[in-house]
Structure 1
Amino acid sequence: MDLIIFLLIGALAGWLAGVIMKGGGFGLIGDIVVGVLGSFLGGWLLPKLGLSIGGDFGGFITAVIGAVILLFIVRLIKK
């Protein structure tokens, strides 16, 4: 059950990052991948910057921030 919740949060974070970055998204699987990888990126990067957001909602926000950063990097490379 935790895996399903993790994937749903990843998909939602990836979709929201696509909306924030004004992109068409990468489809459901792509959004899940971007959200999950963004979650890891955000979880690694934000503490290095001295930012810490706790709780379930904080974890979601961290995933969205990481996914936005990841989408930004992917779009830079894609150009």
Structure 2
Amino acid sequence: MDQMEFFTWLIAGAIAGWLAGKVMGTSRQQGLLLDIVVGIAGALIGGFLFRQFGTEDPDLNIWSILVAFAGAVVLLGVIRVVSGRRKRHT
């Protein structure tokens, strides 16, 4: 991954994390900063997953934001499942 592609995923991740937080209802719990962090992690996850299917687009466009959004939603869903299981066991 070159520097431009990394920068693109950071921007897409910030936008996507904010959107994913709104969709998943976690924005109030985690705030904007954590939304952005989740989005960036989601962008990396989404980028990795979509590359496995042969899809790669290093440019910042609607597709890259959708990929990052999908990764962020997956990440928030996994966090919700894992944290839900922990609460039941305590």
TM-score where L is the length of structure 2: 0.68
Please, what is the CA RMSD of the aligned residues? 2.6
Equivalent residues in 2 for 1:1-79, closer than 5 Å: 7-25=10-28, 26-48=30-52, 50=53, 52=55, 54=57, 55=59, 56-79=61-84
| Structure 1 stretch displaced more, 24-33 or 53-62 | 53-62
Residues 27-64 of structure 1, C-alpha deviations (whole Å, 9 max, x = no match): 1210110000000000001222x262644211111110
Gaps of 5+ in 1: none
* CA gap 1:64/1:51 in 2 versus in 1, 3 angstroms: farther
Instruction: Give the structure with higher Rg (CA).
Output: 2
Partner of 2:26, secondary structure, is coil
Q: 2-side partners of 1:63 and 1:73: how far apart?
A: 15
Q: How many percent identity over aligned positions? A: 36
